[in-house]
Structure 1
């Protein structure tokens, strides 16, 4: 899987001159997660380039707009804006030929399901099963330290058609159905929540099934 990494200005300012080294460390962790035998498929992670788009703020509203975010950025708007940029903006730039499978935005912005509430706990967003779509093969992830690697692996999993482990489509699979909230199927890479019970480096039977089906 060839990935274009895009680092926004806020993240670049936060990490300073070490930002590229930091994001490549994150991706090394992601690569190890995708090499775990529980995935059942060989997926190699390769970063083709780290891009710093000068003067570009994704999902930035105009000052004074009634749609200005109060507490953070709208996750949906940011993803749409970023997907549009990676499809159109890069195509118009001859120095960035289309030679990647997916584009990943790393940001230090607060990203929220609803930017007008204080509950901005969204860590990432991607559409399900869009890795092969030129206009929708993209994801956004909020940087919150090295644990962002687990979020990256999770969002890339969505692009590869992996649903959340506790979604209905997982529960119907043999060996995945359970009413026990502590069952292992709920506690892997594609878990909805990351907590002290999660094993975010191991893939569930459901993830393995839907990835194999997608490939």
Structure 2
């Protein structure tokens, strides 16, 4: 139960990030910055956005970015709000607390220039429907996915954290970058970049970028109508 795990560790999550983990997030930030340079207005959908401290906060002063954040963990969402409170991006952010697979069908088609899933797939019991992701992108939109080398996850599947003298752990799922590419291709998404991250002989993580080909998928909600997410997090203290 990833929601319970991240609820337990949210307040200390950013204290234990390794250099390779930070590098993974910064590679995502660099991709977003490149896209930002090409667009005067940018609409970002951040799936499983956590505390926001390693990706969203880099855009804290942006007036022309709108940030839709979805995370199933209320404590993580509260940290996200707290980290961006009082800044332009905080005012431009929509925070949704919900399971990703439940929230995605409720979002409006073609509403996002970028969808980000940074180190999220390995924490999900079931991967998302890539056709739903494709449906949400603007005609030239990008999907950015990063995750851990699946070899590491197979060798050490338990993500362990000490909390008040007790270990809590999440059993993570190996994410094969080539399976990600296969699922994205099936959903009419074209891969534009694949890179590995980490300076050791065995790479630590990978980044993939996909581009919408402009062919809209059938409305995944099944009724031909767009829906808007209605679950909101009340402002934190």
Q: TM-score, normalised by structure 1?
A: 0.27
Q: Which structure shows the higher strand fraction?
A: 2
Q: TM-score, normalised by structure 2?
A: 0.25
